[in-house]
Structure 1
C-alpha cells in the first residue's frame, strides 16, 4: 500500500509539471483572450461546466488506472500464493497414498455378501436379525490419521427376532458426558393365526417342556444376561457366525481370513499376498428410526457387558458425505484434518477432538472457503479454535444439541433438544490436566510450523 501511494503521488507530481510546462508555452495573449472570454457573463457557466467535465474525466481515468494496477497486483499475489501452496502440498508434505475409497467399496461388497448369508442362516432362528452394514469411522469419512493402521469399521444394525422386542433404557447412573443404554429383551405373544401358520410356538403361553422339545431357545436364553442383551455374548456368537460363513463367500477364494481378539466386536483381517486389510464389525440397535445407534463399541474403559454406549458415527459419516457433495474439486478440508491428526501423535489430544473442531468449522464456513488457496488460513483457523477451546476449557459435542445439521441427518428429539456435553470436561475439573493440555498445544504449534517450514 505504501509503494502504491508513492507511485500515485509521483504520477500526480508529474501531471502537475506537465500542466505547468504547457502553461508556460502558451502566449500571454491567448491566455488573455481566454480570460476575457471566461469573464463574460454568458460564458461563465460554460467554462465551469468544461472544468467539471475535465475533472470528471481525470478522476475516472485515475480510478480505472488504480483498479487495473490493483487487479494486476492481486493476480500476482494469487499466482505466488498458488505456487507456494503447490510446492508445500505436493512436495513438502507426504500424504498417504492408500486409496481409501476403493478399499471402502471392497469392504462394503464383502459385507453385502455376508448380509445375504446372514439372512439365509438366521431366517428360522431366534437370534437378532442382522441388516446391511453401514461404513463408519475415519476411513469411510474419507481420511485416516495413520495410513499404516487403517481400520475399516462397519456397523451392523440389529432388530429383534420373531416373538421378541427390544426396549432401550438409558442408564441414569452414568456421567452426563457419556450416554449408556441397556437393551432389554422382552418376549411377545405370538398366539395369532398368522404366527401359528409359521409353526412357531408362543414363548409366553406354551408349556416350557413343549418349547424345549420342539423349538429353539429364545434370545433371552442365548445372548442375554438378566433380560438384557449382553455385548460379550453377542460378540462371541457373531465371531462364530463370521468364521462359519467365510468359506461360502466369493472373497474366500483369493483372501485369507484371520480372526483377531476382541470382546465387544468382531475384528479380523483379510490378506492376499502382501496386501492386508483390517476390519472391525460392530453391532448396534437403532434409536427411533434415526441415525443414532447404541453400539457395542465402548466409550470408556471397563464398560459393563450389558451397556451399549450411544454412538453418533453414522450421523458423522452422513455429515462428511454431505460436505463432499457440496465441496469444490480442490477442497482440502480432509487434508487439513489429516495433517493435524498426524501432528497429534504422541500428545494427549484425541483425533475425535480435532475432528469435532473441523466439523464445527465446516458447518460454519462456506465450502468454497476450503479450496486450495485457503489451505494455510484454514490450518490457522483450526489451531486458533483449538487454543480458544482449551482456554475456555470447553469444546461442545458436534452432534448432540446441534440444530444446524443438514436435514438429511435424522436425530431423536432428545438429542436435538439436549445441551451439548463438554468434551473438555476433565480440563475444567483438573487444573493439572489443563496445564498439560496447554503445554501440548504449544508443542503442536511448533510441529505445525516445522511441517510448513521444512516439510514432513
Structure 2
C-alpha cells in the first residue's frame, strides 16, 4: 500500500513540475539550427512512445487482474481491494498525464514557434501596440504629396523603359550572332519584371529589371528540381532548387562519349579533352559545376558577363555613350554612361524557365526575398516575378477606376527608402512591402481600394507589416497559398507546398530583428513630418534620362 501511494505521488509531482503549461521555462530560446530542433523532437517522440508502452502494460495488467478478481468472486474468495484500488489510481494518473501531454501537443500545433518573439525586451519603445502614435496626414495632404513627389517623379518611366528595351534588343541580337548554335547556350527574348513593369517604381534613378531566359544546345535540356515541394528540405533552403543538365531523349545524365568514339576534331559538350569523368567549367561544357551534372551559377555569371562584353564591342560604334558593369558580383548589372555625366542603370539577369510555367530560376538577385545566401553555387533562387506582375494586372481589372493599391505601395516604398538613408539598411525591403500588399489585395473587397480611401489602406498596409514583424511571420504570397486563384496557372507543387516564411531570418538573427524593428518604428514616427515636408518642397536631387539620347 505504501509503495502504491509513493508511485502515485511520484507520477503526479513529476507531471506538475515538468509540464511546460504549468511551469513554463522563462529562459527557453529557439534552437540555433535545424539539427537541434529535429534531435529534440525525436527525443520527445521516443519519450511518448515509452509512456505509451507503459500505459499498454498497465491496461493489460488491469485486464488480467479484473479477470482474476472475477474468478475469485466465482470461487467465493475475498479480493484484495486495497492493492487493486491503489494500482487503479496509479493507472488513472498515468492516463491523465498522457491526456494532458497529447492536448499540449495539439495546442502547440496552432501558432508556429517562428511567430513568437524570443524576448519581451526585443520590442522597442512603442510596446507592440499597433501603430500607436502614428497619425497620417489628412487625405488632401496625402494626395498632394503623392502627386508632387511620386507621380511627378515617375513621369518619364515609359520613355526610360522604351529606351532601355530598344538598346537591349540590339545587344542581345549581337550576342546571338556571336554564339555557336551547336555548342553555346541559346538566348530568348527578355521579360520585364519588378516595379518598373508593375507601375510602382519610386526609387531614383529609374531602373529596368529584365530576365533573359536561356536554353542549352540540342540534344540537351534542363531538368529543374523544385525544393519548395519537398518536405525533407530544411526551412532555410525552401524557395531554391537545382538544375540538372541531361539529354532531351531521356537518356541518363551521364555522357555518351565513353560509349562512342569521337573524332580528333570533335569535343564532348559535357567533358573536356583532359578528363572524361567530370564536366569542366568552360562554356562548351554547358556551365556545370565540377564533378556533377548540375548547372553552376558562378559559371553562368562568368559566361554571361563575357558574352555581354563581346556583344557590346560589336555594336559600340553605333552609340554615343559607354556601357559598363554596375556591380561585379551581379551578372548583367549594367550602366549606360552618357557624355553629359548622367547615367542609366539596368539589369539583365540570366534565368531558366521551370517547365512550362512562369516560374524562373534566377542565378542571383541583389537582395534575395528569402533572406539567405546560397551555400552552394548549384543553388538557384526561384523567382515569382512574372506571376506577381500577372496577379497585379489581373487584380487591377476588378478594382475601381483609379484604385489606390499601387499608390499605397509607392508611398510605403518611399518612406522605407528615406528611412534607410537615415538609419542604414535593415532586414526590410520593397519585396516585403509588395508581399504584404498582395495579401491585402486577396483578403479585401475590391470597393475598399477606391482613390478616396488611400489613407485608410495605407494604414492597413503598415498595420499588416507591423503585425508580421511582431510575429516574425510573413508568408510568401504564392508558395503554399491555396487562396491564390487557379486562373493564375500556378504549378500544383507550389500550391501544395509548405508556406514559406520570408521573416524566418528574424527568428535566428536577433540583432537583425531588433535593428529592423527599431528602424520600422522610427519610419512610422517620421512619416507624418516627412510627408508634410515633401509635399511643400520636392528636392531636385535625382538625375533622369537626357532629353534626347543618341539612339540610331
Fold-level similarity (TM above 0.5):
yes
1:286 alignment partner, one of 350, 353, 367: 353
User: Which of 218, 229, 239 is residue 179 of structure 1 equivalent to?
Assistant: 239
* Superposition deviation, residue 125 in structure 1: 2.8
Corresponding residue number in structure 2 for 1:128: 185
1:186-228 deviations in Å (ceiling 9; x for gaps): 246699xxxxxxxxxx7565324x1x51457448443222222
CA 1:406–1:135: 2 relative to 1, 3 Å: farther
1:102 counterpart residue number:
159
Aligned Cα RMSD in Å?
3.3
CA separation in 2, counterparts of 1:264 and 1:182? 19
Distance in 2 between residues matched to 1:261 and 1:83, nearest whole Å: 41
2:288 aligned residue: 224
Larger mean CA deviation between 416-425 and 92-101 belongs to 92-101
CA offset digits 1:295-339 (Å, max 9, x no partner): 101533364322212111221122233344455553332232122
For 2:194, the equivalent position in structure 1 comes to 137
Greater RCO, 1 or 2 (C-alpha within 8 Å, sep 6+)? 2
Contact 2:181 2:217 in 1 (8 A): no
C-alpha separation in 2, matches of 1:174 and 1:343: 34
Change beyond 3 A, Cα 1:186–1:387: same
Pick from 180, 186, 208 the counterpart of residue 152 of structure 1: 208
What residue is the counterpart of 1:409 in the other structure?
488
Counterpart for residue 319 of structure 2: 253
Is 1:335 the counterpart of 2:411? The answer is no
Distance in 2, matches of 1:124 and 1:432, equals 51
Separation in 1, partners of 2:379, 2:529? 44
Give distance in 2, aligned partners of 1:108 and 1:140.
12
Greater share of helix: 1
Secondary structure at the residue paired with 2:530?
A: helix
Larger Rg: 1
Q: Secondary structure at the match of 2:224?
A: strand
Could you tell me how far apart the structure 1 residues matched to 2:353 and 2:449 are?
33
| Alpha-carbon distance in 1 for matches of 2:483, 2:533 | 39
Measured after TM superposition, the shift of residue 139 of structure 1 is: 1.8
How many angstroms apart in 1 are the aligned matches of 2:325 and 2:400? Answer: 40
In the TM superposition, residue 377 of structure 1 has moved relative to its aligned partner by: 0.8
Task: Give the secondary-structure state (helix, strand or coil) at the position aligned to 2:334.
Answer: strand
Tell me which of 259, 262, 265 is aligned to 1:213. Answer: 265
- State the shift of 1:83 in Å: 5.0
SS in 2 for 1:290: coil
Inter-partner Cα distance in structure 2 for 1:93 and 1:187: 50
Taking a change above 3 Å as real, the CA distance of residues 401 and 247 of structure 1, as seen in their structure-2 partners, is: same
Matched residue, 1:397: 476
- Secondary structure, aligned partner of 2:488: coil
Shift of 1:178: 3.6
8 Å contact kept, 1:231–1:264: no
Matches within 5 A, 1:49-128: 86-90=143-147, 96-97=153-154, 99-122=156-179, 124-128=181-185
1:235 to 291, 301, 326: 301
Question: 1 CA distance for matches of 2:465 and 2:472?
Answer: 10
Q: Which moved more, 1:381-390 or 1:104-113?
A: 104-113
- Larger fraction in strand: 1
More displaced 10-residue stretch of structure 1: 212-221 or 353-362: 212-221
Aligned equivalents of 1:452, 1:190: Cα separation in 2: 60
Spell out, residue by residue over 1:232-265, the C-alpha distance to the aligned partner (whole angstroms, 9 max, x if none). 2222221222222225559942432223343451
How far off its partner does 1:452 sit?
Answer: 4.2
Verify the 8 A CA contact 2:288 2:294 in the aligned structure 1.
yes
Structure 2 counterpart of 1:363, from 436, 442, 462: 442
**Structure 1: distance between partners of 2:317 and 2:234:** 42
The 2-side partners of 1:455 and 1:90 are apart by: 11
TM-score computed with the length of structure 2 as normaliser: 0.58
Secondary structure at the aligned position of 1:147 is classed as coil
Deviation at 1:380, TM superposition (A): 0.7
TM-score normalised to structure 1 length: 0.70
In structure 2, the residue matched to 1:268 is 334
Counterpart for residue 501 of structure 2 = 422
> Contact 1:177 / 1:423 at 8 angstroms: preserved in 2?
no
Following the alignment from structure 1 to structure 2, what is the Cα–Cα distance between the partners of residues 404 and 173? 24
Distance (Å, rounded) in 1 between the aligned partners of 2:159 and 2:257: 46
Question: What is the Cα deviation at residue 446 of structure 1?
Answer: 1.0
Contact residue 187 and residue 203 of structure 1 kept, 8 A: no
The answer to whether the Cα contact below 8 Å between 1:152 and 1:279 also exists between their aligned partners in 2 is: yes
Contact 1:232 1:264 in 2 (8 A): no
1:188–1:203 Cα contact (<8 Å) kept: no
Counterpart CA distance in 1 for 2:149 and 2:313 is 46
**In structure 1, what is the Cα distance between the partners aligned to 2:378 and 2:201?**
31
